[in-house]
Structure 1
Amino acid sequence: MTGLIQRSKVASFVKAAGFSLIALGISGCSSVQNTLDSRPNEGPCPVVASLYDASRKVQINGNETFENVGFTGEIVGVRSFCRYVGDDPIKMEVSIDFAMGRGPNAQGDTHNYDYFVSVTRRGRAVIEKETFPLQVTFPKGADRVTVSDTVENIVIPRADSSISGSNFEVFVGFVLNEEELEFNRAGKRFRVNAGQD
């Protein structure tokens, strides 16, 4: 199956040290939440969560010391909305909250992060996985920003009305290289306030 996950509307909100920027890029129709059908869902929405091993991204340029940390990111929240009635497919949108950091070894004020959204059959194989780019610009003098991004038009087909959302899961996470993945799996992390009173 292809084309189940599409980012037709991107809503990004960046906030840092009293500075805020709202950027909206809109294409396509209204969101899933704006549906006109008032009938209740046939069942629960799919479980939505961030994968623990992919919920953080730490760029390290050299040895694992704080001075070598470049750009970082962490998924701090995931929200979703779904809609399905009768034999209709499940239509979902997922909003992801990120906390991004700019370490001592970060080059420049802008960094491109990639994250994924995957739909799985509960406890089974991935049905579809899509990757999305997220460009973040840090305001002058800021080393931390928060960003929210929304993926709409996630469509999960159902054989019939007996198949509920509880049969599916949606996972989000950063696209990581092998070193970043091993860093996360080992439980390592750098904290900005480590060693401070």
Structure 2
Amino acid sequence: MTRLIKICTGTLALAAFLTGCSSLADWRDSANKENPAPCPNVIVLQDAGRMVQFSGEPTLENVAYTAEITNVQTTCRYYDDAPIEAAVEVDFAFGRGPQATANTMDVSYFVAVTRMDRDVIAKEEFTLPVRFRGDSATATLSDTVGSIVIPRKDSSTSGTNFEIVVGLALTREQVLYNRSGQSLKFPDLD
């Protein structure tokens, strides 16, 4: 969908305002209208909610880095037959294991829009630079994707017809590890 933005400047602004270039007034009117229905459901894809990067066999001693999506929140706004404008805030927790080779890592994640458990309408991947401070083995970050635009057929199409799906961008091996149900076992401290 292409958006047309009218820009009014200088002494013509007042005349333009009176003749229809009142985008601020239009925006205020639309901001006061309520959503006809709820926002799209936001979910973390089960197989892509965590990542363990190993250096060798999948054991506690071979962990290099970990990442996990700890929370996802969404907001949205739509009215009449306008598209849904949504934002998603994703919270992450990261870990640095015994095989980590640096105080930094890059983690990629995706945000996709689907039609309720069906077709993927759009998907975009983002990369986060993660920095572990000093000797810390953990770090947390939040990232916001604030420009998700979901077209609707008409004013009767609500946000409940769509889902926003979030997950870490994983290798095939990482997905298989997550699907296996394995977890890292900490040694007995007795």
Fold agreement, TM-score > 0.5: yes
- How far apart, CA to CA, are the structure 2 residues paired with 1:134 and 1:95? 13
- Alpha-carbon RMSD across the aligned residues, in angstroms, is 1.5
- How far apart, CA to CA, are the structure 2 residues paired with 1:66 and 1:123? 35
Give the drift of 1:74.
Answer: 0.5
4+ residue runs over 6 A deviation: none
The alpha-carbon distance between structure 1 residues 135 and 159, as it changes in their structure 2 partners (threshold 3 A), is: same
1:47-196 equivalences in 2 (<5 Å)? 47-190=41-184, 195-196=188-189
Can you give the 5+ residue segments of structure 1 that lack an aligned partner in the other structure?
Answer: 2-34
Give the drift of 1:159.
Answer: 1.1
Q: Between Structure 1 and Structure 2, which shows a larger proportion of strand residues?
A: 1
Give the drift of 1:194.
Answer: 5.7
The alpha-carbon distance between structure 1 residues 49 and 194, as it changes in their structure 2 partners (threshold 3 A), is: farther
The alpha-carbon distance between structure 1 residues 139 and 89, as it changes in their structure 2 partners (threshold 3 A), is: same
- How far apart, CA to CA, are the structure 1 residues paired with 2:124 and 2:156? 27
Q: Aligned to 2:144, what secondary structure does the other structure show?
A: strand
- How far apart, CA to CA, are the structure 1 residues paired with 2:180 and 2:107? 22
Give the drift of 1:42.
Answer: 1.4
Identical-pair percentage: 48
- How far apart, CA to CA, are the structure 2 residues paired with 1:86 and 1:177? 42
The number of aligned residues is: 163
Give the drift of 1:196.
Answer: 4.2
Give the drift of 1:189.
Answer: 2.3
Q: Provide TM-score, normalisation by structure 2.
A: 0.82
Higher relative contact order (CA 8 A, sep 6+): 1
- How far apart, CA to CA, are the structure 1 residues paired with 2:165 and 2:72? 9
- How far apart, CA to CA, are the structure 1 residues paired with 2:187 and 2:168? 24
Can you give the 5+ residue segments of structure 2 that lack an aligned partner in the other structure?
Answer: 2-26
Letter in 1 for 2:152: R
Q: Aligned to 2:92, what secondary structure does the other structure show?
A: strand
Q: Provide TM-score, normalisation by structure 1.
A: 0.79
Larger Rg: 2
